[in-house]
Structure 1
């Protein structure tokens, strides 16, 4: 065998061996790459567990198409509303409807009140978080004795009206990220049941509500009197920098888009459904606790977890409780929201 033939075979052998080595290296790199990627994806999926219902509010069956409106009133938005003809449903509703759905005849009162607020937009500390896992805590008696406090505090917590937390932490938690209220449901000393960083969201239902807010902010003598019997507090000692005014469109959308109530009935959504609508726009995952009222013929079960002496109230006639119950059941069944009291929720969050 010639020297050239041997050299050629050796060269071919080493070339083949080199190719095998490179193939092995490439295979190892691929295996390592996919291992790292799978590990990363698993970690991401685990981290995204709190956002498993991300942006589910976009589903068309909710009937909402105005997704870019601001949740709170601002001076800028009202000036724009007055300076240009309406182009969207949002602007049309605010211009031509009266409170609680629009600002017809109340625009000037709203503008004047906004001048007293140092901040009007959603705080950056809340808006900048990539994943908002929120829970709207209702005031229903169903939460009484359930010991959901720790689970509730693992969310951004949205509370309603004057519901206390100090004596009920074990059931309703102690954290409050946002609290919705109107004059008659205002806490005179909000810091007793909220944090200094709690966003206090004022919900205007009637023109006099703006007058009440102006008077308590200016600390003038309060002249507002409620003819219904429940009087708003004469003082409100909250953190003004954390006070916002809810856009009435939130109430409109909750009433006519979500609940689809008949306008001739002159009923509107409860604060709980209004808060849920706000949460569905602001949060990626929305859960609930303490929702539900006693049945129409149940005059013994208390309405609220904190006032066990009060049974079904006359004021509920302003709302369609049956429609709200049915809507909540539909949303839960569709996976838009979840009730933390349900066995399926508790099984997933063990």
Structure 2
């Protein structure tokens, strides 16, 4: 049993709402902060987040608010589920409101685009120093709609304080959500972020109707690139063969519910990126992460050809077929294991 019973969830997109539903149904007191007033009104009046997680009934015990101060007040932990491109500004609003040593868990699967910083590093930039010891990250193969419907899911919770991780692991676990503990915060975050870039590439492959062989090769070599960058940044290579690595990679590269895969597939069919993003409510994190991943690779002097080609497609107008051809025609190399 866990002694955690009051949680604030900052971010009411699909993932934040699904986690809020899960924890509320377990019996925790959950305050969900939403940026959009229409989300607050929707949940209060219909017990449903019609903008981001439609057709998933939310328990009446779940409190929702537009006030960060109200959401955070008296909580025992903060689950941060805000898109990476606005994470810093939301954290800056949070910082003066939180107790110095409150545990903060990032469930954001992205990288800050301009600085190439992982979310835990952004938190260290902004939050009080005493809070740094209690930072954790949550990731793994998880479509929000399936978690919202209570379908069995496994996640990974990583942090530097093993006892604290164990407490929150117990708080999150139910018969439908299994949580594994880890200490590799870098690897868990990179796995959750980079798989979105690979999902874009897998979507392109499917949009071009190149077949299962091509997609399998893309996933395998995509994993090799993730391991290569991760180990260069100090992560444990084994992390990428777990839930937050290969687990999430396979899910987002093959699952039809993946926003990033959907964007890639539409690119492969010839649509323009601006058109695709223009009619999406939710964020496809991979588009922003692609640019950051290329920056990280260059800074670490790591070769990531798939990341390089998807950036060329997204931002330089390169055709999807040309990108695939250039990947296939690279200089022949021995495999010698995945990296």
Query: What TM-score do the two structures reach when normalised by structure 1?
Result: 0.27
Query: What TM-score do the two structures reach when normalised by structure 2?
Result: 0.28
Greater helix fraction, Structure 1 or Structure 2: 2
